[in-house]
Amino acid sequence: MRRFLILGAAALLTAGTAVAHGSSHGASSTSGEPGDAKKATRTVKLDASEYAFSEQTLSFKAGETVRFVVSNKGKLKHELTIGDAAEQAAHAAEMSKMSDMKHDEGSHEMPANSIHVGPGETRELVWKFSKPGKLLFACNYPGHSDLGMQGRIAVE
Ligand SMILES: [Cu+2]
């Protein structure tokens, strides 16, 4: 338990640094852009639960549009954010500022690279990967990614 607390504190520090340096956050992203579902060439199904996604590593080609279909099989709310480490940290910092009660979709501006999925729900995020690089997918509810809700995306 103590180890998780230390990891959590480290994550908060990292997130704080990212925000202080004004990392980009929003539709224009280094990791890609919102995609058109009609142009999707792949569908990736991800099950979310406490505290894991059903996949840990994904790989795509630059220029590929991917339809992520996320089913929440757990009892808590989860989310999926696609982005580089700085984007994940920025969104995690934003989410840690608000209580779970208030953090419903619509109560704050969601970045385009993120969807929330309530228990029992299935929702989709369509994302176009623009260039090669190493990205992450994660659930940014406080503590969830440290407990295992994260994975790697390689774009070649
Ligand atoms: Cu989660």
State the number of CA atoms in the 13 A half-sphere of 116 facing the CB: 16
From its phi and psi, is residue 88 left (phi > 0), alpha (psi between -120 and 50) or beta?
alpha
Tally of structural domains, the chain: 1
Q: Tens digit of pLDDT for each residue in 91-142? A: 999 888 875 555 555 555 678 899 999 999 999 999 999 999 999 999 999 9
Cis peptide before 141 (omega within 30 of 0): no
* Residue 84 clears pLDDT 50, i.e. is over it: yes
Residue span of the structural domain in which 98 resides: 2-155
* CA 80 to centroid of ligand 1, rounded, Å: 8
CATH number of the domain to which 23 belongs: 2.60.40.420
* CA 124 to centroid of ligand 1, rounded, Å: 16
* CA 121 to centroid of ligand 1, rounded, Å: 13
H or E element in which residue 85 lies: helix 85-96
